[in-house]
Amino acid sequence: MAFSARPPSSDRRPDFDSRRVRLIAAAIRAGQASADVAFDAAFPVELRDVSAHYWTPVRVVRLAATWLRETRARTVIDIGSGAGKFCVAAALLTRCRFTGLEHRASLVSAARDLAVTFGVADRVTFVYGGIEAAGTMDAEAYYLFNPFGEYTFSSARFADPDVTFSTGSQQRDIAATAALLSRARPGTFVITYNGFGGSVPQSYEQIDVATRLPGTLRLWKKREDGVS
Ligand SMILES: C[S@@+](CC[C@H](N)C(=O)[O-])C[C@H]1O[C@@H](n2cnc3c(N)ncnc32)[C@H](O)[C@@H]1O
């Protein structure tokens, strides 16, 4: 799959000034119920409408960010980064560097705009490509929110007709992800939200789990003696 060299747009939205961004970050940190609505207002309406189903809720980002701070991970790859909600919201709560990998060009573009809007584009990068591109990247932690389901957009702007879904490609992507995690260095962290369709390799141990969220969030660590 080709990579886009398109740079992020440099214009911040005038209605998202630094005060508004600070207030949204504070609302996420405080776990305010209104934080999702406040954050999602930065999306184009078509991406806002699917947010509750397709993008990580801020309550979940909040706990994942706590785990990232506790683990002291400095670099995070979000496989299937969508419109960038996880990477950008987590960047507001941590000092990590995030790379989002996404195979829909329209979402990569929207995610880059989101990072600029929230003033975190210096630490948050979005790459256009499929799971195979993750093999050339390196990170201390991976985030996976059920990336290989079938995601559809009714709007022409986000239709990405070159992206198709089949159970064959889904199974290949799941196997490639398991292989990627098997090759990762000992000590690598993985955070799954509603899994990724496959099993985290046995060389990882689950070190935390949260079930009182809209979905199940798990933290895994590759054992120091973990070979695969
Ligand atoms: C559930 S959404 C999660 C978005 C983001 N991680 C978040 O939590 O805000 C999963 C995303 O994975 C993307 N995706 C699916 N298959 C992919 C693949 N093979 N390579 C890259 N991205 C993929 C989808 O287009 C979708 O945007």
- 120-143 confidence digits (pLDDT tens): 999 999 999 999 999 889 999 999
- Tell me, in angstroms, the distance from the centre of ligand 1 to residue 147's CA: 4
What is the model's pLDDT at position 7? 42
Domain count across the chain: 1
Reply yes or no on whether the pLDDT at 11 is more than 80: no
Residue 201 sits in which domain range? 18-222
Q: Is 147 left (phi over 0), alpha (psi -120 to 50) or beta?
A: alpha
Conformational region of residue 129, where left means phi above 0, alpha means psi within -120 to 50, and beta covers everything else: left
Which range is least confidently modeled, 9-23, 38-52, 180-194? 9-23
Q: Does residue 47 form part of some domain?
A: yes
* Per-residue model confidence (pLDDT) at position 179: 97
Locate the ligand 1 atom nearest the alpha carbon of residue 82 and give its number.
27
Residue 80 in contact with residue 144, Cβ under 8 Å?
yes
Q: Is residue 107 part of a domain?
A: yes
Pocket of ligand 1 (CB under 6 A): 54-56, 78, 80-82, 85-86, 101-104, 107, 130-131, 145-148, 151, 173
Of 27-31, 186-190, 192-196, the one with minimum mean pLDDT is 27-31
pLDDT for 6 beyond 60 = no
- Ligand 1 atom nearest the C-alpha of 54 is 1
* pLDDT interval class at 4 (50, 70, 90): very low
Mean pLDDT value of segment 28-32 = 91
* Ligand 1 center–CA 225 separation, angstroms: 31
Tokens 């995601």, located at residue? 151
pLDDT tens for 59-102 read 999 999 999 999 999 999 999 999 999 999 999 999 999 999 99
Beta-strand ranges (E) seen in the chain are 75-79, 97-102, 124-128, 141-145, 189-193, 204-210, 217-222
The proportion of the chain whose per-residue pLDDT surpasses 70, expressed as a percent, equals 94
User: Is a pLDDT exceeding 70 seen at residue 5?
Assistant: no
CATH (domain of 90) = 3.40.50.150
Instruction: Give dist(CA 84, CA 80) in Å, integer.
Output: 9
Q: Is residue 217 part of a domain?
A: yes
Beta bridge partners of 192: 144, 218
Instruction: Write down the mean pLDDT value for the chain.
Output: 93
